[in-house]
């Protein structure tokens, strides 16, 4: 791999890391267990390393953005996660921030002018 490519690789993964929380929160308006969340993200085009995602879920729960409970009725016991009130509020705020960022980047990259019209 050339030096340029590896720089690109690390920058891209940094970008992905920055958006991961938003991606995960966005899919947790409904109850999900770890593996179902991986598949859901993957089905929509986001491949996430499982060993990154699962610790993240626990961290978000510790930050009191998610609730979790064990379900014993299925083939095996599963831990389900879902947004709580604080998580839903955070998701809304974070989404707004994201929209603003996209807008600013579009302008910076010369895709749109200041009024947001496509050039």
Partner 1 sequence: MELLERYLYEIGRRLPAKQREDIVKELRSLLGDALDARTEGRDATEDDVAAVLKEFGSPAEVAARYVGERYLIGPRMFDLYWLVLRIAVLCMAGGLLIALAVELATDTTTIEDALLRLTGFVPNLLTGAFTAFGYVTAIFFLVERAVARKELRMPLEKRTWDPRTLPRIPVRVDRVGPAGPIVAILFTLFGMWLFNLHPDLVAFVYSLKDGWSHLMQVPLLTSDGLAAYLPLWNIGWVATLVLHSFLLARGRWQFGTRIAHAALRLFSIGVLAYMIAGPALISSGVFQNLPDLAVVRTMLLSGIDWFFAFLIVVTSIDAVKSVVLAVKGRVPQI
Binding site for partner 1 (CB under 8 A): 33-36, 39, 49-52, 54-55, 58-59, 75-79
Positions of E strands within 1-119: 32-33, 66-71, 78-83
* Shortest Å, Cβ 87 to partner 1: 17
CB of 4 to partner 1, least distance (A): 27
What's the rounded Cα separation, in Å, for the pair 62 and 60?
5
Question: How do 66-71 and 78-83 pair as beta strands?
Answer: antiparallel
C-beta of 37 vs 83, nearer to partner 1: 37
Shortest CB 80 distance to partner 1, Å: 11
Minimum CB distance to partner 1 smaller for 25 or for 33 = 33
Task: Give the C-alpha distances (Å, rounded to integers) separating 65 from 25, 81, 83, 84.
Answer: 9, 10, 6, 6
Looking at the Cβ atoms of 17 and 111, the one nearer to partner 1 is 17
């Amino acid at each position: 791999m050339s030096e340029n490519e590896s720089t690109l690789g690390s920058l891209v993964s940094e970008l992905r890391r920055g958006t991961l929380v938003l991606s995960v929160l966005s899919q947790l308006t409904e109850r999900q267990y770890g593996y179902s969340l991986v598949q859901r993200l993957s089905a929509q085009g986001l491949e996430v390393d499982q060993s990154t995602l699962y610790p993240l879920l626990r961290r978000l729960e510790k930050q009191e953005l998610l609730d979790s409970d064990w379900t014993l009725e299925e083939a095996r016991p599963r831990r389900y996660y879902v947004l709580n009130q604080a998580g839903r509020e955070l998701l809304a705020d974070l989404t707004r921030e994201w929209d603003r960022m996209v807008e600013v980047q579009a302008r910076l990259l010369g895709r749109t002018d200041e009024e947001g019209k496509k050039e």
